[in-house]
């Protein structure tokens, strides 16, 4: 998880070209343990940028280099805020998704943002229109 935090922070920092701070980490679900001696692969990508914050999607695999197979270990979402020289939040460049997978992550990022802001006490549930639409049919 320490490596995941570093990979995610590097990805966010490269995207915005500035120092970043971790604002939140969503729940991490482990599908399979990575065994001692196996190689760890971590892919971190900014899935969507908002005003001053960015969501980073992480995929983690283990690799058994002797028997030559890779297996999915876990996925996670981290949120980082870009900081100006006074350590205040600064605006970030938007993400333009290209592949189908990137588009899915981009679209769903808005609902994940709403959920984490509600849980963090920064948004009223009534204002989370896209999240509410998942549960409430007109």
Ligand X SMILES: CC(C)(COP(=O)(O)OP(=O)(O)OC[C@H]1O[C@@H](n2cnc3c(N)ncnc32)[C@H](O)[C@@H]1OP(=O)(O)O)[C@@H](O)C(=O)NCCC(=O)NCCS
What does the block give as tokens for 115?
A: 């959920």
- Least distance (Å) from ligand X to the CB of residue 35? 28
Does residue 21 interact with ligand X by CB under 6 A?
yes
Smaller CB distance to ligand X: residue 53 or 73?
Answer: 53
Helix (H) or strand (E) holding 118: helix 100-119
What does the block give as tokens for 130?
A: 């896209």
- Least distance (Å) from ligand X to the CB of residue 88? 8
Does residue 3 interact with ligand X by CB under 6 A?
no
Beta-carbon-side half-sphere exposure of residue 23 (alpha carbons within 13 Å): 22
Alpha-carbon span 120 to 87, nearest angstrom: 21
Smaller CB distance to ligand X: residue 66 or 96?
Answer: 96
Identified binder of ligand X from the candidate list 61, 89, 90, 118, rule CB under 6 A: 89
Cα dihedral sign for 33, 101, 50, 54? Answer: positive
CB 97 within 8 A of CB 103: yes
Smaller CB distance to ligand X: residue 89 or 97?
Answer: 89
Q: How many CB atoms lie within 10 A of CB 72?
A: 13
- Least distance (Å) from ligand X to the CB of residue 85? 14
Does residue 22 interact with ligand X by CB under 6 A?
yes
User: Which residues contribute to the site for ligand X (CB under 6 A)?
Assistant: 21-24, 50-53, 79, 81, 89, 116-117, 120, 122
């Amino acid at each position: 998880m320490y490596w995941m935090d570093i990979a995610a922070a590097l990805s966010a920092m490269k995207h915005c070209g500035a120092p970043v701070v971790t604002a939140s980490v969503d729940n991490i679900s482990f599908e399979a343990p990575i065994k001692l001696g196996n190689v760890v692969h971590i892919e971190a990508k900014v899935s969507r940028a908002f005003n001053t914050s960015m969501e980073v999607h992480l995929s983690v695999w283990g690799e058994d280099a002797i028997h030559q197979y890779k297996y999915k270990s876990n996925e996670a979402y981290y949120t980082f805020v870009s900081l100006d020289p006074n350590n205040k939040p600064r605006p970030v460049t938007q993400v333009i998704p290209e592949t189908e997978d990137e588009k899915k992550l981009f679209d769903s990022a808005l609902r994940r943002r709403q959920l984490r802001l509600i849980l963090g006490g920064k948004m009223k549930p009534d204002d989370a229109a896209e999240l509410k639409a998942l549960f409430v049919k007109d």
